[in-house]
Structure 1
Amino acid sequence: MSIDTKVKKLTRQQMAWRAAQDIADGSYVNLGIGLPELVARCVPPGRHVTYHTENGLLGFGERPPAGEEDPDLVNAGKKPVTLLPGAALFHHSDSFAMIRGGHLDLSILGAFQVAQNGDLANWQAGEDAVPAVGGAMDLVSGVKQVFVLTEHTTRDGKPKLVDACSYALTGAGVVSRVFTDLAVVDIRDGHFVVLEIVDGLDLAGLQAVTGAPLHTDGTPGVLQAP
């Protein structure tokens, strides 16, 4: 089922902004390749967040202006970044030691599928896909908390939030919260719990594009972003 065209989905930048609002002050955060990279632009005012990338950089900022890129300063997705005061550069083995040692508070990753029990599949979509797990398996097992930032459905309208993942898992029971272009959803006790829904969409409409039962803890708030 498709969403009514009158429903205004969040843009990718709005999704990134909303996820950033739930990052605790003082956190050390790894941003996954793709959509999660946009979160680096969205540190809430008055909040200190240190971003980490597994290729060996701690304390990076958003993309530099056009023409000011430094080819030696890139994130794990090979996108240009800037250095913030106090930033550090180091070998990728040290970077993974930070991850595996439990020194990162949060990782924000993309997803092909998220199951209602918190299972995450984000590295291989079907038998014909090129396997490229990168550091994702280390991240989901080494960090203290995992957020997922992804569109609610695939391009052909299939749910990404599902009863059980059909793709190869990145990690089992690792996801605690999902931010989509339609909703913010917690994972609690093996269930999807809806916290916020975009204006113009009700719970029944959200359920129609979700592959597992949705639950609530009171009336969901309205998902808004500038």
Structure 2
Amino acid sequence: MSLLIKHAIVVFMAFFAIMNPIANTTVFAGLSGDRNKLEKTKIALKALTITFIIILLFALLGKSIFHLFGITLPALRIAGGVIVFLVGYHMLQGANSKLHTSQSDENSDIAVSPMAVPLLAGPGTIATAMSYSAAGGWAEAIVTIVVFAILCVITFFCFISSSKILSIVGKSGLDIITRLMGLILAVIGVQMMIVGVQAAMHSPLLN
């Protein structure tokens, strides 16, 4: 198996766990309320388009941001790992992380907030995108972006089919999925921190 394929699989699992399309489908269904199917489709499309643009910018400009602020890749991996772990930990408890919740009122554009930010393009998603896209060359960055685009399409279809999905999964099924995604996220977060610490220990700055 080539390195790019392995990279794509790892990135997909990380993004899938942190975005959790099934769990966020329940949030989408609750926020969209009694709107008709056309309105729900427009909200879902707008939310995921904004989400993709945000992640695209951070994935492409990750290295530039590093140089601008003097950030090293090991530092991002450690910080990103902590964020991802905390999100996963809260999901393991059967609760939404405070990093991925937001208060909204009836007059706000729910596609922008809280759907796009912070539910879909939250700190964990951004840190994951920057970490994996900056870990290699342009090939890894492109793979990261393509994988995230595929996940956005999957999430879009989950959102527009929210009623059917919720009737099939049920509350118990949703709790199981949330905890499973939380476990995967927690492990990914720890792995990111381990890689970051190992890289930092071999950094010329410490020698």
TM over 0.5: no
Structure having the larger proportion of residues in strand = 1
TM-score w.r.t. length of structure 1? 0.24
Q: Highest relative contact order (Cα 8 Å, sep 6+), 1 or 2?
A: 2
